[in-house]
């Protein structure tokens, strides 16, 4: 029987890479998006044309009511949600003294409250079913902190704390909760980095490369599988060794 995965922020970048990989590996995939409707619909069509099982559903993860509606629609189409990947997120580079209240609140609401909202919406069914996989996408900056990204680093560290605490709470219900902390990945979110900065990051990285969305998707697929049944509460940093 096919399992169903809900991937938030799934229309582009790492999210889209995960959608493709999970769909190709016999999952029903819910493609969550908020503003990138065209990208989500194009991705949905691309995979439906390959006879893969996907559905694009809009919901702003900041809004719990919208999240609940998305989950209810997903239930009607695919049944229970077996895997949740909290990938939706935003980034911003600013000096700490320039961060506004609006900047900080938006960062918290998307990157941290969004994880809370989506997890809350699916967790009750997972607990009843005594099975579930929750995979949170944090960042290496949530582990070590980043200059000029204090608010981003803070909320990504919050995702790590939530992962560890929730893993302890729902482990007895057969639910695994883990976190991936990506390094520098070749996505649109990092398209603002100039060639000099990218080359500098490559030089600082022991493996000498920038990551691709597929690198994170492959790790997520493993954590979603029964091969990872004895792994929970873990923060796996996929950054080519940059933060060793």
Does residue 196 carry a catalytic annotation?
no
* CA-to-CA separations, 103 to 8, 50, 61, 87, 158, in angstroms, rounded: 21, 40, 17, 19, 17
Exactly one of 27, 33, 64, 152 is catalytic; name it.
Answer: 152
Task: Show which residues are catalytic.
Answer: 152
């Amino acid at each position: 029987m096919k399992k169903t995965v809900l991937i938030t922020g799934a229309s582009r970048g790492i999210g889209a890479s995960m959608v493709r990989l999970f769909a190709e590996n016999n999952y029903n995939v819910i493609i969550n998006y908020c503003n990138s409707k065209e990208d989500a619909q194009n991705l949905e069509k691309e995979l439906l044309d390959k006879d893969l099982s996907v559905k694009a559903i809009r919901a702003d993860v900041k809004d719990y009511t919208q999240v609940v509606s998305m989950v209810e629609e997903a239930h009607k189409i695919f049944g229970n949600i077996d895997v949740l990947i909290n990938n939706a997120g935003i980034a911003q580079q600013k000096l700490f003294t320039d961060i506004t209240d609006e900047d900080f609140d938006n960062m918290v609401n998307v990157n941290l409250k969004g994880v809370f909202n989506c997890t809350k919406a699916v967790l009750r069914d997972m607990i009843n079913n005594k099975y579930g996989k929750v995979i949170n996408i944090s960042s290496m900056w949530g582990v070590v902190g980043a200059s000029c990204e204090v608010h981003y680093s803070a909320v990504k560290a919050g995702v790590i704390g939530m992962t560890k605490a929730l893993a302890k709470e729902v482990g007895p219900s057969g639910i695994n909760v883990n976190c991936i902390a990506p390094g520098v990945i070749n996505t649109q979110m990092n398209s603002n980095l100039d060639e000099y900065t990218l080359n500098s990051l490559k030089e600082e990285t022991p493996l000498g490369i920038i990551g691709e969305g597929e690198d994170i998707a492959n790790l997520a697929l493993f954590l979603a599988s029964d091969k990872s049944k004895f792994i929970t509460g873990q923060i796996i940093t996929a950054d080519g060794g940059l933060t060793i």
